[in-house]
Amino acid sequence: MTRTLPPRLDDERGMTLVELCVVIVILGILIVIAVASLQRARVSANEGSAIGSLKTINTAQIAYASACGGGNFAPSLLVLGHKPPGYRQSFIDDELAGSPTVQHSGYNVNIHDGVGASIGRVDCNGMPTTTNYYASAVPVVMGRTGTRAFATSQRAGIYFQEGLISPPEPFGPPSRLVQ
């Protein structure tokens, strides 16, 4: 009786250590590229949300001025968040009306008096109004939650500039109009 030994694995079907290292390096590079793309997408989404918040504020201020403010504007997000008598809802949603400065999608959003503003008459809720307003949205963490700061006023255009400082009034260079 003769015994046969199993065949040796001399053929080279497996991966060598060098080939495995090359595959790991390639996967690492792809992961780094994917993470960078995800971060850029997140910043872009946050900036879009900030622009949307300022558009909502502009629309709410116009509605407030015509329905409750007697032609004047709300001096803060809190005032826009009050429901007028006889209305089913306030001018902005609770997410934006939670405090004087709201952190929303990586941006600090607020409203205060604009350049040349004066105290207006009392609104339908018994709150003071203002003749001008200035709303801004500034990134919470530069480069991580956003790269641009935004601002708007009763003229309804939304302006931006790079960095953590919102565009000053009157709007002009270095700030630019959002397209």
Q: CA torsion angle for 40, 46, 51, 53 (degrees, to 10)?
A: 170
How are strands ordered across the β-sheet holding 107-113? 101-104, 107-113, 133-139, 148-153, 158-162, 176-177
The Cα–Cα gap between 143 and 135 comes to 21
Whether 116 and 130 have beta carbons less than 8 Å apart is answered as: no
**Model pTM score:** 0.83
Q: Would you state the structure tokens that stand for residue 57, as one six-digit string?
A: 């504020």
Q: Which position has the token pair 């565009």?
A: 167
What are the beta bridge partners of residue 103?
108
Per-residue pLDDT of the chain (179 residues; tens, 9 = 90+): 666 766 665 556 777 899 999 999 999 999 999 999 999 999 999 999 999 999 999 999 999 999 999 999 999 999 999 999 888 999 999 999 989 999 999 999 999 999 999 999 999 999 999 999 999 999 999 999 999 999 999 988 999 999 999 999 999 899 999 98
Distance (Å) of CA 52 to CA 45, 96, 105: 10, 11, 11
